[in-house]
């Protein structure tokens, strides 16, 4: 025979909602959890760099691995990682984690990036 106090179902457990989480924050910024994406991008860039460099110097990979296959796998992994990272950012913004202050900072960062590219263009030409 079960005791009524020990019979707890998942409907009785309250999950914190986004509004409760935002109310507990003392600032307008979204602190991110640890992400594997920077590590994965670095790994795939390294696996892209090594066979490409060996190709330019007409050297072979150890264990007779084909360079082209490793280059294609690296590009594919880099593409998948970038798409996953972008999907993660879109999910964060659609769930309300990007407050107006965060959105303003993202816009300002993009504007400064474009401005720096224009200045670099004018510096060369």
* Residue 77 burial (10 A CB sphere; 0-12, 13-18, 19+): middle
Q: Provide the percentage of residues in the chain whose pLDDT is more than 90.
A: 41
Higher pLDDT, 7 or 115: 115
CATH of domain 36-97: 1.10.287
pLDDT tens across 69-121, in order?
888 999 999 999 999 999 998 998 888 888 888 889 989 999 999 999 999 99
pLDDT at 97: 83
Stated pTM of the model: 0.64
Residue 20 scores a pLDDT above 60 = no
Contact 101, 28 (CB under 8 A): yes
pLDDT at 65: 72
The DSSP secondary-structure symbol of 96 reads T
CA 45, CA 61: separation in Å to the nearest integer? 16
């Amino acid at each position: 025979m079960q005791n009524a106090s020990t019979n707890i179902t998942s409907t009785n457990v309250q999950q914190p909602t986004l509004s409760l989480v935002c109310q507990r924050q003392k600032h307008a910024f979204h602190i991110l959890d640890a992400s594997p994406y920077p590590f994965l991008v670095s790994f795939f860039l390294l696996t892209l760099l090594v066979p490409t460099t060996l190709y330019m110097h007409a050297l072979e990979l150890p264990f007779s691995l084909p360079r082209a296959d490793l280059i294609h796998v690296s590009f594919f992994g880099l593409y998948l990682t970038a798409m996953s990272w972008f999907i993660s950012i879109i999910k964060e913004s659609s769930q309300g984690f990007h407050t107006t202050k965060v959105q303003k900072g993202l816009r300002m960062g993009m504007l400064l990036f474009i401005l720096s590219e224009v200045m670099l263009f004018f510096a060369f030409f």
